[in-house]
Every structure is written in structure tokens, then in C-alpha cells.
Amino acid sequence: MNPLILDTSYLIDYFNGKYFTNDDSVENAIKEKRVYYNGIILTELISGVRHKKDKSRMELVLSGLTYLPLKYSDFSRAGEIRNELFKQGFSMSTPDSLIATHAKEYNLKLITMDSFFLKAGDLIEIKVEIPTVL
């Protein structure tokens, strides 16, 4: 099984108590240290925290994941991805392109609730999974 990167949209639903069809596989991947996040995801999560206990819970969950730092080359590649997609009539935000860059660079399957990643994933050749909420 591929290592995973958990998108902000998935993590928000997880923090809100939703259960997914892929819960067992994500939990196993976490136990096997095959789940990643980056600074973009961290920034988006922190910007949505409303209570101190929520931040503590978020930090606890993230402590079980592996942090991928963003490098100069990641920003350059994200720009290239945005440019490639724009030429094909598809727009992707800078934060999403940085998440996609890590998915592509490290061959990570992106777990997300954002359906636009399905089309983008095909165009930039990254694996994307949108789990079903139970």
C-alpha cells in the first residue's frame, strides 16, 4: 500500500467525528508510520481552530503523522503544476498545488474530500482517494 498524505478537508471531517470507509487502512498506515502532512495542511488546520482543546486534539493526532518540510524546489514544482493545469483549462490554488507537489514527489496517495483533486490528480499523475462518509 502506498504511503498517504491526509488533506485538510479529510482531517477536518475526521476531527468533527465523521467515520469513513477507509478508516481501517488509514489507521494501519498511521501505525506503520506511512502517513504524512506538510506546513500547508498545518496552517489550514490551525486557522480553523476555535478552542484550545481542539488545538490540543489536533496536535495529538498530527504527532502520529510524519511532517514533510517544504523546500525551495517544492515551491518551484507547485508553480509548474499550476502552470500545467492552467494550460489544460484547470485552476488549482497555490496551497493545493503544494500539497499535490508532495503527493507527486513522494508517491503519496492523497486522501481528500475535495472532488476537484480527482480531475487534477489524473492530469498531474497523483493517486487520489475520496473516502465515503459512513
The reply to whether 62 falls in a domain is: yes
Q: Which residues contact 134 (CB under 8 A, 6 or more apart)?
A: 18, 19, 20, 21
Percent residues over pLDDT 90 in the chain: 93
Mean pLDDT, range 34-61, rounded to an integer: 94
Cα–Cα distance, 44 to 33 (Å, whole number):
22
The reply to whether 134 falls in a domain is: no
Cα–Cα distance, 109 to 129 (Å, whole number):
7
Residue 4: exposed, middle, or buried by beta-carbon count in 10 A (0-12, 13-18, 19+)?
A: buried
Cα–Cα distance, 104 to 124 (Å, whole number):
8
Is the pLDDT at 109 greater than 90, yes or no? yes
One DSSP character per residue, 70-104 reads: --HHHHHHHHHHHHHHHHTT----HHHHHHHHHHH
| Domain harbouring 121, CATH code | 3.40.50.1010
pTM higher than 0.85, yes or no?
yes
Work out how many domains the chain is built from and give that number: 1
**Domain limits for position 78:** 4-129
